[in-house]
Amino acid sequence: MKIIFGVQGTGNGHISRSRELVQKLRFDGHDVEVIISGRKEDELKEIEIFAPYRVMKGMTLVTYKGKLNYIDTMFKLDPVSLLSDIVMLETSDTDLIITDFEPITSMAAKLKNIPSIGFGHQYAFQYDIPIARGTFFEKYALLNFAPAQYNAGLHWHHFNQPIFPPVIPQTLYERKSLTVVKEKVLVYLPFEEVADILLFLDPFSGFEFFIYGKVQENRDEGHLHFRTYSREGFLIDLMESNGVVCNAGFELPGEALHLGKKLLLRPLDGQIEQQSNALGMVQLGYGMAMDSLDESILADWLQKPGRESLRYARTVDYIAEWIDCGHWEELSKYTAAAWAEKS
């Protein structure tokens, strides 16, 4: 099939999981063109694997000090450019559009009457899963930002719904190659300011914190190790760590659960998806959550034991098989098979 694959570029999690599915679809013989939007090309990291790809403006969420800024987000919106990109997107001979919460490809599919599949965590919210209390606007935006005809939703647990397990990078299926360091903690809080993270972690000198996010240069300050983005370095630190402190996105917590890392989530204020993820994590008993950078909660969490690995299946294989079959309404047998297998 000729497939256009839209990737939301505002979060590394979208890029991580889409990378795995794009490679699998191409390996299976599909002609896949990738569209990335939401961030400038020079701000996107390690996207060469997507080539051929195009970067478009799309829509960007603006945050400050761990809180979603709706006013600045609205001012950043360029509806004229967005509409132009949707109308002008070349879709001739396209058999299918897949969107990982990417609005240009989603809306182009609807406008041009092309079958579409929504791939990603956000599409799990079309089903009966834990969701935080939020405003009507927040829930509407979550469900309608980049809708599709068929939904390949992802979550850490199935909740007896036709959703898939998380997409785990191939590297992490080789987790036994590195030794876990008991005092090592991976910290990924990209919506927080580095100075605030330093003050939060500094008192806990008995642990080694490897910190990613808004870090401009690699440096070590005693037990605090600041690291700029590197996919390889990040995954190594993840595999060696005993626990992970992160925002309540989806991909990193899923990778941590797959590897058996204990989790402490700090959801982004005003972002209903992250609030829902924190709620689901606590309800499942998979980890802890905090509403701010709370030292007392961190102190308690650091003393918690590790957890067992959930050993998720190779999810992209099941999603690719479902896509190949062409009967996209027959979703449940593929989701059930994915949950039944352990890596």
Give the chain's residues under pLDDT 70.
60-76, 175-177, 343
> What H or E segment, with its residue span, contains residue 289?
strand 288-289
Contact 262, 284 (CB under 8 A): no
The reply to whether domains 2-168+313-340 and 170-302 share a CATH topology is: yes
Fold (topology level) of 170-302: Rossmann fold (3.40.50)
Q: Would you mind telling me the total number of residues written for the chain in this entry?
A: 343
Name residues whose C-beta falls within 8 Å of residue 99's C-beta, 6 or more positions apart in sequence. 5, 6, 105, 106, 109, 116, 117, 118, 119, 146, 148
Q: Tell me the CA distances in angstroms from 307 to 243, 258, 282, one per residue in order.
A: 9, 10, 14
Task: For 192-211, write each residue's pLDDT tens digit.
Answer: 999 999 999 999 999 999 99
Contact 114, 94 (CB under 8 A): yes
219-257-342 Cα angle (round to 5): 135
State the amino acid at position 140 in one-letter form.
Y
pLDDT of residue 66: 52
Task: For 95-135, write each residue's pLDDT tens digit.
Answer: 999 999 999 999 999 999 999 999 999 999 999 999 998 87
Three-class SS of 203-228: CCCCCEEEEECCCCCCEEECCEEECC
The burial class, CB within 10 Å (0-12 / 13-18 / 19+), for 66 is buried
State the amino acid at position 194 in one-letter form.
V
pLDDT of residue 58: 79
Q: What is the C-alpha separation between 19 and 62, in angstroms, rounded?
A: 24
Contact 98, 4 (CB under 8 A): yes
Q: What is the C-alpha separation between 268 and 290, in angstroms, rounded?
A: 10
pLDDT of residue 74: 61
* Number of DSSP helices (H) and strands (E) in the chain, helices first: 12, 15
Helix (H, G, I), strand (E, B) or coil at 245: strand
pLDDT of residue 200: 98
* Beta carbons within 10 angstroms of residue 119's beta carbon: 30
Fold (topology level) of 2-168+313-340: Rossmann fold (3.40.50)
Structure tokens at 107: 């809306």
Q: How do the domains of the chain map onto residue ranges?
A: 2-168+313-340, 170-302
b/e burial code for range 75-97 (CB count within 10 A of at least 16 → b): eeeeeeebeebbeebebeebebb
